[in-house]
Amino acid sequence: MSKNLSPIVDPLLIWFDNNKRELPWRQDKEPYHVWISEIMLQQTRIEAVMGYYARFLDALPDVEHLSRVDDDALMKLWEGLGYYSRARNLKKAAVVIMEEYGGTFPQTYDELVKLPGIGEYTAGAIASICFDEKVPAVDGNVLRVIARVQGSKENVLLPQTKKSVTEQLKKIMPRTAGAFNEGLMELGELICLPNGAPLCDSCPLKEHCTAYKKGLTEQLPVRVKKMKRRRADKTVCYLTAADGKIAIEKRPDTGLLSGMYQLPNIEGFHTEEALRTTLREWGLDPTDITFTKEAKHVFTHIDWYMKAYHINVKEQNDRFIWVTEDELKSSYPLPTAFQKLL
Ligand code: SF4
C-alpha cells in the first residue's frame, strides 16, 4: 500500500509560494511561453535555456509566427540545443493550432496531448500551469521526490511506476494544480536533489518523508536500467568414452553459473567438420558424431541458443572430468541449461 500523499499538498504549496524562482516563462501563464520553455528544458539546464528562450521569443513571439517560420531559421534558433526533431515538432504543432484551433491554444490535457511533440508530461504541465486543470505532470524530479516521500523501492524508470505515481497524484491535486505541479518540480530541482544529496533540513516535506525519517535518501529513488539482452549461440558436446563415462568440466569461479559444471561447449554453431577439428585440438579421437537436439535457455540478461551433439570418443583424456551418469546426477551440479540437453 503506497503512503497517502495528501499531507504534502499544503506545505508544498506554501513553500513554492515563498521560494519559487523568478523565471521568464513564469511571468505570465501564457501557454505558448510555458510550452516553449518546457520543450527546451527537457534537454538543457535552466541557466542554459534562458538565452535560447529569449532569442526564440524575440524571433517567434507567438504560435502564428512559429507556424510560418522558415525551417532553416527555426534550426538556427535551436542550434546547440540538440534533439532537432523537438524543434520540428514545435512548428508542426503550431501549424495544427493555427489550422484546427484558429490560432487559439488548446486548453485541455486531452487536446494538448494529441499535438505533435507534446507528451503526457508537457500536456500536464501546460494544462495545469496555464489552466489549472487537475492533472499531474510527472517528470524525473517528481518521481524522485515522491519515491523518497513514500520510501518506495519501485524502479522509477519503469512505465508502471510513473503510471502509479500519476494516479496517486491525480487523487490529491488541489485547485491550484499548476502551483502544485511546479512546486514538486521546483522542490526536485532545488532541494530534493538527485544522487543522494538532498537538502532535507530545508525541505518542507521532511515531516512526511519516509526516506528522511529512515535514512534512505541515498538509496532512493531506485533506478535500474533495463539491460539489453544478449544472444549467445553454443555448440554443446555430449562426449562419451568407450566405458560409457561422460565428459564434464568446471566453469570458471566468477561470472555466469560460476563454480558449476558443464558439458564441454564452443561458442557459435559449428559444422560437423569444424567440430571434429576442435575435438582433435582437445586431444580426443571421435568415432561418430550425431546431432541430438537443440534448446534455448534464458538467463537474466542473456539467451543461450544451444545445439547438442552426441559424440563417442575412443579414449578419455585429462582435459575433462569423466563421470558415470549416476555420479553426474549425485555429485556434480549441472545447470538446467545443460540438463535440458541430456
Ligand atoms: S525530506 Fe529530503 S528526501 Fe524527503 S522529500 Fe525532502 S529533500 Fe527529499
Query: In this predicted model, what pLDDT tens digit does every residue of 218-257 receive, in sequence order?
Result: 999 999 887 778 999 999 999 999 999 999 999 988 888 8
Enter the pTM of the model. Answer: 0.70
User: Relative to the CA of 206, which ligand 1 atom is closest?
Assistant: 1
Q: Are 255 and 303 in contact (CB under 8 A)?
A: no
Pairing assessment for the beta strands 302-313 and 230-240 based on DSSP bridges: parallel
Among protein residues, the one with the nearest Cα to ligand 1's atom 2 is 200
Domain with CATH 3.90.79.10 in the chain: 232-339
Enumerate residues lining ligand 1, CB below 6 A.
Answer: 145, 148-149, 191-192, 198, 200, 203, 205-206, 209, 211-212, 217
pLDDT of residue 132: 94
User: Relative to the CA of 145, which ligand 1 atom is closest?
Assistant: 5
pLDDT of residue 76: 87
Q: With a cut of 70, list the residues of the chain below it in pLDDT.
A: 1
Record the cell numbers describing residue 224, joined without a space: 535500474
From the list 335, 334, 338, 262, the residue with the least C-alpha distance to 295 is 338
Centre of ligand 1 from the C-alpha of residue 145, in Å:
7
pLDDT of residue 126: 98
User: Relative to the CA of 210, which ligand 1 atom is closest?
Assistant: 4
For residues 327 and 108, give the distance between their C-alpha atoms in angstroms, rounded to a whole number. Answer: 71
Point out the catalytic residue in the list 38, 120, 154, 182: 38
Contacts of 271 (CB under 8 A, 6+ apart): none
Among protein residues, the one with the nearest Cα to ligand 1's atom 1 is 206
Whole-Å CA distances, 81 to 69, 116, 120, 256: 18, 19, 22, 42
pLDDT of residue 138: 97
- Range list of H helices, the chain: 9-19, 31-41, 46-59, 63-68, 71-78, 84-101, 109-112, 120-131, 140-150, 159-172, 177-190, 210-214, 272-281, 325-331, 336-339
- Looking at residue 2, its amino acid is S
pLDDT of residue 1: 53
Contacts of 316 (CB under 8 A, 6+ apart): 241, 243, 245, 247, 322
38 is catalytic: yes
Centre of ligand 1 from the C-alpha of residue 278, in Å:
60
For residues 281 and 163, give the distance between their C-alpha atoms in angstroms, rounded to a whole number. Answer: 57
Query: Tens of pLDDT along 125-137?
Result: 999 999 999 999 9
CATH of domain 232-339: 3.90.79.10
Pairing assessment for the beta strands 246-250 and 261-262 based on DSSP bridges: antiparallel
Q: Which CATH superfamily is domain 6-214 in?
A: Hypothetical protein; domain 2 (1.10.340.30)
CA 11 to chain centre: 31
pLDDT of residue 108: 98
